[in-house]
Chains A and B, each alone.
Chain A
Amino acid sequence: MSLLHLAIIAPFILAFFVPFFYKKIKAVHTGWFVLILPAILFAYFLRFLPAVKNQGAIQETVNWIPSLGIDFTAYVDGLGLLFALLITGIGSLVVLYSIFYLSKAKENLGSFYVYLLMFMGAMLGVVLSDNLIVLYTFWELTSFSSFLLIGYWYHRERSRYGAQKSMLITVFGGLAMLGGFLLLYFMTGSFSIREIISQAGDMTGDPFFIPALILVLLGAFTKSAQFPFHIWLPDAMEAPTPVSAYLHSATMVKAGIYLVARMSPVFAEEGTWFWLVSIFGIITLVWASFNAVKQTDLKAILAFSTVSQLGLIMSLLGIGAAALHYTQLNDNIYMAATVAAVFHLINHATFKGSLFMVAGIVDHETGTRDIRHLGGLMHLMPITFTIALIGTFSMAGLPPFNGFLSKEMFFAAMVNVLSLDIFNLETYGVLFPVLAWVGSVFTFIYSMILLFKTFTGKQPAQKWEKKPHEAPLGMLLSPIILAALVIVFGLFPNILSASIIEPAADAIMPAFAEAGQAFNVNITMWHGFSAELYMTIAVVVVGLFLYVFLPKWKHIYNIFPKKLSLNALYDQGLVRTEKISKNMTNAYMNGSIRSYMIYIFIAFIGILSYSMIEKKAVSFELSNLAPIGVYEIVLAIIITVASITILFAKSRLTSIIALGAVGYTVALFFVLFRAPDLALTQLVIETVSVALFLLAFYHLPKMSRKEERIRFKMASAVVSLGVGVVVTLIALSAHNNKLFDSIAQYYIENTKEQAGGANMVNVILVDFRGFDTMFEIAVLGIAALGIFGMIKLRLSRRQDG
């Protein structure tokens, strides 16, 4: 167990102690105890920066289930470290923010911090695991802890709805991903991502390769809220705002991004990967930014905005995969897409985190998050306004903030698609820059809505619940730090490039690092009059125009019917599934034993006849049969007549007596076939059971004693005939397929000699196979005690009176 493992597990350990702090030390807000850990972890992970830059990666292994190839291997490379820093850094800020956001008196802080720490540990585990099964374990832990956090205010119906929805969708994806991981294991024989990457070239022709790719992508898309699985994210906004800021903007939703980036070296050579990742990413970008404009809730806007930005990063990762097809190029322009993805990942975490915190402050100070009831807060909350301005302008992609840089790089990458000459991109490639541009226009519009509808204009007519004023400093501290980072990264982007972006991009595209083509990331604010600059200018102009005339064209959102939305589809799907499965269950589990017997017998006939026909086992060899005597024929006729009498008798009494006749005839058969012990027993037992039948008959209730024939049912007749035919066929065929001699010879020889008896049947029963007899008499005893218990202990009837 190395220090690195301890760092990953530390949040779980602390989570264990949080309730003690919460219960024992009531004077201090529990969050202060929690805050220490992510801060220490952040500092700890910062120390990896030089090592990762120089050596590439650090690996530590602890055995977990070595026999199955599952070991807890912690692997820190540029990508993992970037995420670990995000998780711990933003984690510390979110914990700090939550200390002031959540009231000590009103909220159950113990659970909150336990869930949050569980989530933090799980997320660290996801990004720092080299083993796929360990990764999956932590992945599901993030789903669970996210479920708990979304449902934190579990007395609200919407919270429970959102929690369930996110659970269903992310767990669906998680399980698909597990399937993909298992397929990867079948192909490579290893769960280690390193190992799999080293064998990536051998897998391309494998029939499992594409299914594995699609399953892994399903996991990534559901977690990262890509179209059409993005619907859970807006409903997850019922969580407390620190949770939204942490999970649903900076960390958990980027787990899918992480997975795509991590798996790029395995799958990126494949054209399907390029298409799926970039197309789904760009569709998500446009669809979500388009939908964000119509939202009225601050957090809903931010949720759709997150979805669209995740789509942006995803599409960049997809385009980045194209770089692998041009390895011969010295200055690979497609590599820029990967760099842009990494850079925007960082930027998005900073500005989106601060914006969520701003939304939380506005909510906290005014009591509403609805932009229709907000306005004119600029003078009341100047600091919050400044932070919001920085965040929204960065999100819209305006200089001098970091969003501008990554947006420029995004446009550059999308324009570069035009020069691709693979996968038919000569014809369809133009879609990418166009869609990217449209998405950016909508991004600009909702960013402006977010800022100006909240902070400028007139204050609304009706008063807010509280008198708004500037938030306390503690609450502002975290968003101020994040907003400061937005500006710092915007003005000096290169402090990031050498230390973290390059190693991360190396980890995503190891093919280049191995080839020694170390690329230098150099992000500059001004890079001449290029296509992307004109695109940005056009975005601003068109965006401003559309924003000003928003009321004029807003009704186009009503064209699209609500019934056809993805949410309605999900809700309807859930209701339908429940209804269909209920109907199905009710249709066949009808409570009638007759039906169940029919199912059982039909299955019996079906399986047996199929296997007999399939194996060609039916045979009618008649050569080795014994001669049939007169007595046998007579007895067979008697037994047949008696059996038919049972079926067609009008009176139950007749049936009972006919059954007795069958039993006695069987005893006669035993005599005929020389089985005196059986004959004796059969005679006595038949007598007893007929007496018991008569007893049961005598006690039938008078009401239902009405004597009538068994009603004829076609289905029953067919099934019973089928069973009879199948059993007869099996008996005949089995008789003709005797593969080995009987072991009876042994008993004939040894009954007298070894067991000292002459009655072979009895010797077998008590000596050779006495064990069976012992349990058969146990069965008899149990039956007797059961009858005794049933008759003597009638508690319920006695209670009924």
Chain B
Amino acid sequence: MRKTNDLILQTVTKIVSFMIFMFALHIFFAGHNNPGGGFVGGLLTSGAIVLLLLAYDLKTVAGSLPIDYKILIAVGLLFAVGTGLGSLVFDVPFLTHAHDIFTLPILGETHLHTAVLFDIGVYLVVVGTTMTIIQTIGENE
């Protein structure tokens, strides 16, 4: 069988997947005040990776993104549970969040919220889950 040439697809993917990735990050960080959040952000991130998978192949993508997605799930869960446990240190109930406005060196006045840490957990688990499923099914003969 003659090998097809995916030049256009691959070139477009290079640019588009980056844009999707950025959009996913935007959606993730905007989540607290606008529609979005960890769940949709995670799904969109996986979308970007899936696009890469479609344009290239499993091996290439695994080479450029050397991530074990199963570990990603674990890390995500650790973030979520860790955020909850962190509140216990301050003698408040499990999963009590705190937020305040800080003045940071470069960013200036920034509103920081522990809920973001929790959302990072959600984000990582969603990416890990979708990618584990797709990769596992894709590798299956």
Contacts and interface: CB of A to CB of B under 8 A. Distances in A.
A785 B119 contact: no
A756 B99 contact: yes
A681 interface: yes
Interface string A25-56: 00000000000000000000000000000000
B129 interface: yes
B76 A781 contact: yes
A787 B40 CA distance: 21
Contacts of A774: 80-81, 84, 95, 118, 121
B137 interface: yes
Contacts of B118: 766, 770, 773-774
Given A681-B43, A756-B99, A784 B129 contact: yes
Nearest to A762: B37
Interface string A672-708: 0000110011001100100010010000000000000
Contacts of B125: 777, 780-781
Contact of B84 (A685, A770, A781): A770
A603 interface: no
B133 interface: yes
Given A757-B115, A758-B32, A781 B40 contact: no
B43 A771 contact: no
Contact of A784 (B43, B122, B128): B128
Given A676-B35, A681-B40, A755-B99, A777 B130 contact: no
A765 interface: yes
Q: How large is the interface on A (under 10, 10 to 19, 20 to 34, 35 or more residues)?
A: 35 or more
B140 to A, nearest CB: 5
A676 B39 CA distance: 13
A585 interface: no
A787 B136 contact: yes
Contacts of B130: 688, 784
Nearest to B95: A770
A795 B67 CA distance: 26
Contacts of A785: 70, 73, 132
A765 to B, nearest CB: 7
Interface string B25-43: 0010001111111111001
B71 to A, nearest CB: 11
A684 B40 contact: yes
Nearest to A788: B136
Interface in B64-121: 69-70, 73-74, 76-77, 80-81, 84, 94-95, 97, 99, 111, 113, 115, 118-119, 121
A767 interface: yes
A766 B115 contact: yes
Interface string B51-62: 000000000000
B137 A695 contact: yes
Interface string A165-191: 000000000000000000000000000
Contacts of A770: 84, 95, 97, 115, 118
Contact of B97 (A767, A778, A783, A792): A767
Contacts of B48: none
Contacts, number: 123
A784 B32 contact: no
A723 to B, nearest CB: 31
A763 interface: yes
Given A765-B37, A787-B132, A777 B122 contact: yes
Nearest to B69: A784
Contacts of B121: 774, 777
A785 B128 CA distance: 10
A783 B129 contact: yes
> Chain A binding site: helix, strand, loop or mixed by DSSP?
helix
Interface string A594-611: 000000000000000000
A587 interface: no
B29 to A, nearest CB: 11
A791 interface: yes
Contact of B94 (A771, A783, A784): A771
A759 B133 contact: no
B95 A759 contact: no
A684 B81 contact: no
Contact of B32 (A681, A763, A791): A763
A763 B38 CA distance: 11
Given A684-B43, A788-B132, A766 B33 contact: no
B49 interface: no
Given A770-B118, A773-B122, A781-B129, A758 B34 contact: yes
A661 to B, nearest CB: 20
A70 to B, nearest CB: 43
B101 to A, nearest CB: 9
B76 A766 contact: no
A762 B73 contact: no
Nearest to B93: A771
A770 B120 CA distance: 13
A596 to B, nearest CB: 29
B87 to A, nearest CB: 10
A411 B86 CA distance: 90
Given A777-B121, A781-B73, A766 B129 contact: no
A22 to B, nearest CB: 58
Contacts of B34: 758-759
Contact of A787 (B33, B36, B84, B137): B137
Contacts of A757: 32-33, 113, 115
B73 A755 contact: no
A780 B30 CA distance: 23
A762 B36 contact: yes
Nearest to A688: B130
A677 B47 contact: no
B38 A685 contact: no
A777 B76 contact: yes
Contacts of A677: 35-37, 40
Contacts of A759: 31-37
Contacts of A788: 70, 132-133, 136
Given A677-B40, A688-B130, A759-B36, A781 B77 contact: yes
A382 B69 CA distance: 94
Contacts of B35: 676-677, 680, 759, 761
A175 to B, nearest CB: 48
A680 B36 contact: yes
A762 B128 contact: no
A642 to B, nearest CB: 23
A691 to B, nearest CB: 9
B119 A766 contact: yes
Nearest to B98: A756
Nearest to B112: A756
Contacts of A676: 35
A676 B37 CA distance: 11
A685 B99 contact: no
Nearest to A756: B99
A778 B125 CA distance: 8
B99 A784 contact: no
A205 B114 CA distance: 72
A695 B137 CA distance: 9
A763 B121 CA distance: 15
A762 B129 contact: no
9 contacts: A677-B37, A680-B35, A684-B44, A755-B115, A767-B97, A774-B118, A781-B129, A784-B73, A787-B133
Instruction: Give the top 5 A-B pairs by smallest Cβ distance, nearest first.
Output: A676-B35, A758-B33, A757-B32, A784-B129, A756-B99
Interface of B: 27, 31-40, 43-44, 47, 69-70, 73-74, 76-77, 80-81, 84, 94-95, 97, 99, 111, 113, 115, 118-119, 121-122, 125-126, 128-130, 132-133, 136-137, 140
